[in-house]
Structure formats: C-alpha cells, structure tokens
Structure 1
C-alpha cells in the first residue's frame, strides 16, 4: 500500500503595501528580521528600517511611525 502525502508549502510575503490614514506606504523584507519601509504624502517622503520577525508586525510599526509623523505635523 502506497500513501502519497502532499505538503502545502507556505511562502511568506516579502512585501506589503497599503494606505494608512491617507498615506501610502510600502514595507519590503531586507534580511532575516529586518524590513525596509517607505511612506510618502504631499509634503515629502520618509524611508528607513524596522526590526521585526514578522511582516505584519513590521507593518504595524510603520503605521505607528505614520501616526507619529502626522501628529507632529499638527
């Protein structure tokens, strides 16, 4: 009797992008636990790097940076 086991290979996304509070952003995997981010709006653009193991955590950190940037402008 032969049994065929098929395994599902899950590939984690290496890039996330979206709009948060009217600001477009992109998060791209750089290394094992490092992510590059870029967000821009009418007055300029910001880029940098965040340390996170998971992509969704990196997105959360970038959204927090956007919130701080918008608060600072008010």
Structure 2
C-alpha cells in the first residue's frame, strides 16, 4: 500500500488530505497518470513529488510502504 499526502488545491479538489492505493510499485509518472484517470486531478504536471520526504522525478519508483507527497507550486505576494 502506498500512502499519498495531498496539499493545497489537490486537497480542495478531492475533499481529503490523503489517499491510500493498493500497489506494490509504480513510477512517479505512472502514479500521476493513474491519479488523473481515477480522481480527475487535472493539474498534476507542475506538482512536485516527494517520496519519503525526498524530492523525486517522474522516473523514480514508488514501492509499497512509501509515503508520497504531492506538492503544488506555491505563489505569494
């Protein structure tokens, strides 16, 4: 099982701050595609991804037991 933490607009879109998916392993890019298809999350292309508190790229592999954070870009003023 992979635990996914959601922040900012992703949290608002789904109405929850975390998801759990039953997968043994998946790449970051594949996970983004799965989340787009399953939950209609449309703005995942600019989202930063961290696996177990370390930033990751689309080719990195997420394994069962990992915690993934999806962090949208932040703007301020």
Would you call these one fold, judging by a TM-score over 0.5?
A: no
Rg bigger for which structure?
1
Q: Which has the higher contact order (CA 8 A, sep 6+)?
A: 2
TM-score (norm 1): 0.31
TM-score (norm 2): 0.30
